[in-house]
Amino acid sequence: MTENIILDINDLHVNYYTYAGVVHALNGISLKISRGETIGLVGETGCGKSTLGHAVAGLLPNNAKIIKGSIVLDGEELVGKTPEEMRLIRRDKLAYIFQNPAAALNPVMKVGDQIAEAIIVREGTSKDEAKTRAIELLTKLGIPEAEKFYNNYPHELSGGMRQRVMIAIALAKNPVLVIADEPTSNLDVTIQAQILELMQHLKQQFNQTTILITHDLGVVAQTCDRVAIMYAGTIVEVGDVHEIFKNPLHPYTRGLLRVVRFNETRSKLPTIPGSVPNLINPPSGCIFNPRCQETKPICKEVRPEMIEVRKNHFVACHLYSSV
């Protein structure tokens, strides 16, 4: 099993240093991802999903710092790497698909040349060979008239097509891990469905290992093998997608799913009471305890550890500490 782990994150802590104070953005994140699986990171805005992705990719802003923990990608420790060393990691092993492809693509460079450049940088091939392979990759992504498409500029493309280009650039590097940060959030539902279908097809074709960062549990249900539920810089529940949708354990997970399953015939939309805590001064004990309706005295004093309640179904909650 250990040989099959492509990413091993252990007790990761990340702080942001701001004028208002130190923001404890990630607090003891531990997660293992196996080769070929797609895992969804789900949670409210500001829970740390993108911070975790940026930490793995070495893309944290200047005011952020990893203060503790380990990130091992394909057997190589990433924490402590220099920016230049992380640039080589992103070249050889890791690809990041950003939320806004229009901002991520070079506006004055043909999209095909941007894909070919990724191939040249990764493998040192000739321009002609890289162009041929870029066109082949575009064809695999279901883009008609790929040779003509190669010569388009980003502003000439729709949002869905630009996202396809970002996916092509990611796959051109043949990475061991792809991090997709809200890849469909700026697209309409029809194009979103096409991109999700494409990602499923590519997973089957390339056996790609993917972290999918999203707030949409519907997207997770459609594309992921496992899901990690994040809340205020922590992971509160991890398990198989079908298991968690069927038997959610953590009160926060149950709250999220109640909203997703809301029936229009009800008179009132179910909500999770309260608001996300201030991570400059997070609450003691379980970080969810101020909003939890099942709080016990220990929840306000002791942070719960992640335990396996069912096979491969883990939860950090004192309600299950005796299980």
Q: Do the beta carbons of residue 143 and residue 105 sit within 8 Å? A: no
Q: Tens place of pLDDT for every residue, the chain, 323 residues?
A: 455 999 999 999 999 999 999 999 999 999 999 999 999 999 988 899 999 999 999 999 999 999 999 999 999 999 999 999 999 999 889 999 888 888 889 999 999 999 999 899 888 889 999 999 999 988 888 888 999 999 999 999 988 888 889 888 888 888 899 999 988 776 777 777 777 787 777 777 778 899 999 988 888 988 899 999 999 999 999 999 999 999 999 999 999 888 776 654 455 777 888 888 999 999 999 999 999 999 999 999 999 999 999 999 999 999 997 64
Q: Do the beta carbons of residue 27 and residue 234 sit within 8 Å? A: yes
pTM: 0.90
* Separation of alpha carbons 18 and 16, rounded Å: 6
Pairing of strands 38-42, 234-240: unpaired
Domains, in order of start, for the chain: 2-93+175-320 (3.40.50.300)
Q: 316 pairs with which residues across the strands?
A: none
Q: Do the beta carbons of residue 290 and residue 281 sit within 8 Å? A: no
Of 314, 286, 309, 321, the closest CA to residue 227 belongs to 314
Residue 81: phi, psi to the nearest 5? -70, 145
